[in-house]
Structure 1
Amino acid sequence: MPEGSKTGDGKKSDEDWRRALSPEQYAVCRCGGTEAPFSGEYWNTKTKGTYHCAACGVPLFSSDTKYDSGSGWPSFWAPFSEDAVAEKRDTSHGMIRTEILCAKCESHLGHVFPDGPPPTGLRYCTNSASLKLVPSGD
């Protein structure tokens, strides 16, 4: 997908996204970039709460489903709700993978792999730059 071509909910232009997001968030969320492993804000976070889309604020993952996958990126075994995350076939970089996107604004989150823990067996491998943690009150 060409740089900045995602329009998501159709309400924001590319320039609006550039203004709303940090350069790193824009590169990841709108251009499909990836942060380096073990470098993102949330890869090793143990704080309880809900991880929201950094671009549009929709809840994407709960800390209750976060686990240490050893990959260097925040990993979850399930999304916050059945309709929070969309999937798309990704054949870039000579691989066949499943890209995960925010279902509301189509921001790139990362990829899902079939090597996660029970009960789903899935690993939603996400970029910290695409997330915003809202800590729970307890």
Structure 2
Amino acid sequence: MADITLFHNPRCGTSRNVLALIRHAGLEPRVVEYLKTPPSRDELRALAAATGQPLRTLLRDKEAVFAELGLADPGLSDDALLDAIEQHPILLNRPIVMTPLGTALCRPSEAVLELLPVGPLPPFTKSDGEVVVDHGRRRG
């Protein structure tokens, strides 16, 4: 069984769809409800590094606290961003998925397909009725 970790918020439709897509592939991820069990600073740094993106890309800018804390300021250091995420875990964007094929913020939810270590999947219908077709492209 593939080692898959999903940083998940069950109140988020995109996150629920990613979990359902992973299960649709016959896989069962380790689910980390990051609002209950926030990742450490070191884990957050490692997650950002694994995505190949700056830490800032893992911030959820739609949260009110993002604006309240002035996090749009491009001059803020990673340490300042980590301080904010530690104090307000809701700032961590979701869902983040780690698999043997890579790590990514999976927005839109079908972005998870390229991380799944399985062959092409049959069509999947998301909670909003949109049908996802897997074209078999995987990271490698």
Give the number of the structure whose alpha-carbon radius of gyration is greater. 2
* TM-score normalised by L of structure 2: 0.29
Q: More helix by proportion, 1 or 2?
A: 2
* TM-score normalised by L of structure 1: 0.29
